[in-house]
Structure 1
Amino acid sequence: MRGQPASREGSTRATDETERADSGPTAASVRAAKPGWEAPAFVAAADLHAEAATNKPRDGPYAWAVIFACFISLMLSIGINDAYGVYQQHYQLTEFPQATTTIISWIGTVQFLIMCVGGVFSGFLCERFDTRVLNAVGAVVMGIAFIAGSFCTSIEGLMATQGLLYGIGASFPFIAGTSIPTQWFTKRQGLATGIALSGSGVGGMWMTSATTALIDSVGRPWAMRVTGIVAMAAVLAVSPWMRVWLVPSRSEHTIDWAMVKNPRFLVLLGAVVFAVAAYFGPFYQMPSYSVVVLHKSATWGSNMDTLMNGLSVVGRLAVGLLADIVGPLNLLIANTALAAVSLLALWVAFDTVGTLIAVALLFGFAIGGIVSVIPVVAAQVFGVARIPSIIGLLFIGYFAGGLLGVPPMSALLDGVGHRTDYTGAVWYMALLPVCSLLFLLALRLMLTRRIRAKV
């Protein structure tokens, strides 16, 4: 049953939101029409024409059950992708030693790119169909993809199964788990989103260790079969709680092109492109870097991914706690700056065991906060009513970032570093968060020029 238009919910808070409007242009502050803010027309329109999709209250026990479901869905969908570095190491050093790093990295890259392409469409599907059903379908496709991949003995076959098919399936839990949390909370939006998105870091952490142990004990084929079965069962189990709180009315356009044309959206999109490009490089290459450059064991190398994923969980939770206090965009800027510093000041300058551990700690913490707070920033600037489709459009940036990140970095490692000198690849990785930071600073200037403003 649909309820009354969701915009009425915020009317009683108009006065309070007006007082806080200088801290950032939330959807409620836009409705309060505070002089000096000129919001895009689609923000107000989306909120005014949104309808409640359920009679379950926001901020209540059921809302936290939704957060748990999002946590599990992201733990398996993104967590498996974050653990691809283990497969990259295995393929590169053991199963396909004659293949180039670039070719092997395309398995994980295709996996993520298809998740992004699927995310653009699944974001709109989530506004038109039951997200619980879509999440369940995604779970089944994810499981089938990894089970089918276990029988593949060629890079092409793995690209089609572990890459393409898995990406299609994972796009539904990915978009739903990322966009739903912001709709279910008004008081602890940042914290709830941080907890939900920490699932991807938790998944990457234990999936990295589990995949390494499974490959060592039962081989890569059975490691993939076990992973596929676990992913399918767990995501299916929580799908009944994967539901949106708001949907746009049926009279709304499927795609609001005003959103794509808005300068604020384009600047945020640019920041997302470079942030995502920076994300996967360390996760994919740090395990093999540990073996080739630092002469550590393969297990030690995979532990670097585990360490980064562990700190990314801490980063997600920390940002969730602080986003409602100091502003999500402010935290996104701070975390992006930390990611840039960790790569530029440490990994570029040094190639020691202690330095690499420090990079894993700092970069893991920073990147976890970055991916966690992007949906909150989008909700603050553009409103929550159409957040699934907004996040879906941002997946265009995720797609572009996937192309801009690992493939060029791997090409530098192959062509310039001859698979042993990582200098060019590390420099490339280090410059990506710097570019993202410049876009974020531009966005903040577009919103407010007050240095201490909560944005």
Structure 2
Amino acid sequence: MSPASRQPGERDPLLPKDVTTPQEEAAPDAGQQVYTPGASPAKADSSREAWLFLAACWVVEAFVFGFGLSFGVFQDYYSSHPPFAGANNIAAIGTTTTGILYMGTPLVIALCRRLPHAARWFTLAGLLVASLSLAASSMCVTVPQLIAVLGVPFGLAGCFAFCPCIIYIDQWFIKRKSLAMGIMFSAGGFGGVVFPPLLERMLRELGFASTMQIWAGVTCIATVPLAYYIKPRQIDTSDEHTGLLSMRCLGSRVFALYQLANLIQAAGYFLPAIYLPLYARVALNASDTQSVLALIVLNCATTIGCVAMGALADHWHPTTCGAVSALGATLSTALLWGFSSSLPALYTFCVAYGLFAGGWPSIWPEVMSEVARRAERAGHGYTDPLAVYSLLVLGRGIGNMVSGPLSDWLVHGAAAHGHSGIGYAGVFGPMIAFTSVTGLLSGMNLLWKYFGWL
């Protein structure tokens, strides 16, 4: 066979078998990275495929986490409309959803690592189950039923839908990873801006059952087609069937201090988003529209805060970013919310709190790198940054789950009492104080860095 008649890459039959061609030497062995269609993966950071991936992740994040951030609308509705009015643990519905979204992350990411080819379909399956959960919740008439049918399944399904985004963004964005994650995390805040007025009007005009059925259809139509774009830039089969997350970072003091601050921040962070509409209506006699506007302003500021903090985290040390977030959250809660006597003052708090406290997750990429680098330097061996991320998300979920029952205790019977006291003087005073203290303590890593512990 002449060289001209052979296909590109075809082996010359006259070549001895023990002689290896350059093409064969460059070919991947079993267990090495196998790239998705084409001779080479699409370019990271700047390719069309990378930005389509990020856009799809953004929409999924908006519907999964944006629904959780809109729970304040449902909290206000459940507290004042039958058959849920007067029931206990209403806040646990929302905190169960968001808590499981966070706490399930380590397990789902480990599954994605163990089954890299199957993980490609996790987003699609999760979005379908989440839509079914929303539709099924329309038949619930008690709080425990809502927790079982909506809180738990939606949280798990959303976790399966979103975790592939976290794994694949590490492949699609390398040089500007913190910015990309900040953009992706901002989608939850955007959903929290757009969804509350829609849901509030639907609840008011259509009732609970019809609202949940319609929202299930909207979620399915808007997200399921985009699952096609949430795919890996490259598939690494070297971890298949064995790719569990390495948890060596658990023995690192650096990780322990970052995780402690993360838990404390989460314990107080979610409370304003849950109670602001109820607070505005009960304490400030706001209308339904004015009450929902507080949540919209908060989530809008959170969207901006995520992107801004992501950009800062690419240049600043994570302890500095954490201290900025903590200081802004503490001052805005203690002064603006604690002494607010009007809706404009409350809206000002929402802007400040969203900008500073809302950007916290955008610090995580740099925390991941810092913990991995310091853990290896301390002799803990290779530390998987994705394991660090999973544990940080788990910590945020634990803090969120704790905040549900705790907030119900702190604001026991607020709606039933109809107390008009504002800020610290009203029944919401203990919750405002708690949010202020947790915000302050979340910035303690800057102090530990000053003493040389970080």
Following the alignment from structure 1 to structure 2, what is the Cα–Cα distance between the partners of residues 248 and 278? 40
Does structure 1 residue 378 correspond to structure 2 residue 384?
no
2:110 maps to 124
Q: What is the one-letter code of the residue matched to 2:279?
A: Y
2:329 to 339, 363, 379: 339
Per-residue deviation, 1:394: 2.0
2:397 to 396, 399, 403: 399
1:366 maps to 356
Per-residue deviation, 1:418: 7.2
Q: Deviations over 1:99-139 (max 9, x none)?
A: 24x51111111112222232221111122234330111110
Q: Deviations over 1:284-333 (max 9, x none)?
A: 00100001000011221111111111111111121233332334543232
Q: TM-score, normalised by structure 1?
A: 0.80
Task: Work out the percentage of aligned pairs sharing the same amino acid.
Answer: 23
Q: Which has the higher helix share?
A: 1
Unaligned runs of 5+ in 1: 1-48, 449-455
1:241 maps to 229
Does structure 1 residue 81 correspond to structure 2 residue 71?
no
Q: Deviations over 1:136-171 (max 9, x none)?
A: 111011001000001112212111122011111011
Residue pair 1:135, 1:235 contacting (<8 A) in 2 also: no
Q: 1:317 to 1:233 in 2, by over 3 A?
A: same
Following the alignment from structure 2 to structure 1, what is the Cα–Cα distance between the partners of residues 233 and 370? 17
Deviates more, 1:188-197 or 1:52-61: 52-61
Following the alignment from structure 1 to structure 2, what is the Cα–Cα distance between the partners of residues 430 and 309? 19
Deviates more, 1:214-223 or 1:329-338: 329-338
Deviates more, 1:175-184 or 1:257-266: 175-184
Residue pair 1:79, 1:200 contacting (<8 A) in 2 also: yes
1:413 maps to 411
Does structure 1 residue 109 correspond to structure 2 residue 99?
no
Residue pair 1:79, 1:202 contacting (<8 A) in 2 also: yes
Residue pair 1:143, 1:231 contacting (<8 A) in 2 also: yes
Q: What is the one-letter code of the residue matched to 2:410?
A: L
1:67 maps to 54
1:10 maps to none
Q: What is the one-letter code of the residue matched to 1:174?
A: F
1:430 to 430, 436, 440: 436
Following the alignment from structure 2 to structure 1, what is the Cα–Cα distance between the partners of residues 104 and 391? 11
Following the alignment from structure 1 to structure 2, what is the Cα–Cα distance between the partners of residues 430 and 178? 30
Residue pair 2:56, 2:229 contacting (<8 A) in 1 also: yes
RMSD between superposed Cα atoms in Å: 2.7
Q: What is the one-letter code of the residue matched to 1:86?
A: V
2:137 maps to 149
Following the alignment from structure 1 to structure 2, what is the Cα–Cα distance between the partners of residues 351 and 176? 45
Following the alignment from structure 1 to structure 2, what is the Cα–Cα distance between the partners of residues 444 and 96? 54
Residue pair 1:332, 1:370 contacting (<8 A) in 2 also: yes
Following the alignment from structure 1 to structure 2, what is the Cα–Cα distance between the partners of residues 154 and 366? 36
Per-residue deviation, 1:174: 3.3
Unaligned runs of 5+ in 2: 1-30, 374-381, 420-426
Q: What is the one-letter code of the residue matched to 1:105?
A: A
Q: Deviations over 1:69-113 (max 9, x none)?
A: 21111011100000011000000112356424x511111111122
Larger Rg: 2
1:218 to 189, 203, 206: 206
**3-state secondary structure, aligned to 1:437:** coil
Number of residue-to-residue matches in the alignment: 399
Q: What is the one-letter code of the residue matched to 1:189?
A: K
Following the alignment from structure 1 to structure 2, what is the Cα–Cα distance between the partners of residues 63 and 444? 39
Map 1:146-295 → 2, pairs under 5 A: 146-245=134-233, 247=236, 249-250=238-239, 254-295=244-285
Q: 1:210 to 1:175 in 2, by over 3 A?
A: same
Residue pair 1:194, 1:320 contacting (<8 A) in 2 also: yes
Residue pair 1:119, 1:175 contacting (<8 A) in 2 also: yes
1:317 to 307, 310, 318: 307
Following the alignment from structure 1 to structure 2, what is the Cα–Cα distance between the partners of residues 95 and 177? 39
Following the alignment from structure 2 to structure 1, what is the Cα–Cα distance between the partners of residues 238 and 449? 30
